[in-house]
Amino acid sequence: MVLIDKQSTAPVEAGVAPDAAPRSLGDVVKAYVALTKPRIIELLLITTLPVMFLAAKGLPPLWLAVSTLVFGTLSAGSANALNCYIDRDIDAAMRRTRRRPLARHLVPPRNALIFGIVLGILSTLGLGLTVNWLAAGLSLAANLFYVLVYSMILKRRTPQNVVWGGIAGCMPVLIGWAGVTGDLAWAPVVLFGVVFFWTPPHTWTLAMRYREDYAAAKVPMLPVVATERRVVLESIVYTWATVLCSLLLWPIAGTTLLYPVVAAVLGAACLWEVHRLLGRVNAGKTGVDLRPMRFFHWSNAYLALLFLAVAIDSMLV
């Protein structure tokens, strides 16, 4: 269960030297936890648990929810640790990611590889034995897609990397549904589509802010190879698709009026912000003056609140 790589945006001092190997147990634990990218995993929980509410039409069984989230977290941690192993050269070259454990030489690459594989095995077996094997299979497929397709192929070769690589980040909604029902349906597919369309503009606006980082690491993110106007126009298209897809859940899942009202309001706010970004482009602003991170933060709030509405609405049906 993974979402595409949207790490912390905290700045790192230029020229920071790699740290020495950690000397205490606490340092070691912190380094290995950092490999799993906990902030990304938080976003997974936001999309997984509400879908379980939707599938259960109320509160899902506690043990089932806990097992899905715990082993789903291990699966995401596995994919993220393996991504750190694969991208260690990129992370060392990018100012934004130089504080990651492998870039700072806090964890040997071989250990990070083994750690990621072990977490993947544990998560798959855990989901299969405590939830069901459909959820386990979907989780494993998401892990392999993120590592083998996105990290090893798409990320370094095409500006469409986050479009198709984002498929891995959509899988938690299917996993959460399958965990409760043991099968799939159109409702989680709609939410899969929401996350799929949401991912590119969310990631591209972050990449606009750190364009020089990606260029230095030779990662062909869209903002590196295209004009700012094209990036914003494509972001508008995907944002409209996100909002329209979100509204499909109302007739397909038979929600109450709460969900479509909230989805419409949140969607309008997100569209307003992305069109304001286009307005700044049309006004001749560029670089940091475009303030692309405004939309990045708006889109984070949009997804969290939309899925919260899914959970609350499920309690009202």
Give, to the nearest 10 degrees, the angle between helix 292-316 and helix 38-56: 30
pLDDT tens, position by position, 209-268? 999 999 999 999 999 999 999 999 999 999 999 999 999 999 999 999 999 999 999 999
3: phi then psi, degrees, rounded to nearest 5: -115, 165
Q: Which CATH superfamily is domain 30-183 in?
A: UbiA prenyltransferase (1.10.357.140)
Tally of CB atoms within 10 A around 17: 8
**310 close to 51: Cβ distance less than 8 angstroms:** yes
Q: How confident is the model at residue 6 (pLDDT cuts 50, 70, 90)?
A: very low
Q: What stretches of the chain adopt beta strand conformation (E)?
A: none
What is the average pLDDT value for the chain, to the nearest integer? 92
Which architecture characterizes domain 185-316 according to CATH?
Answer: Up-down Bundle (1.20)
Domain positions in the chain are: 30-183, 185-316
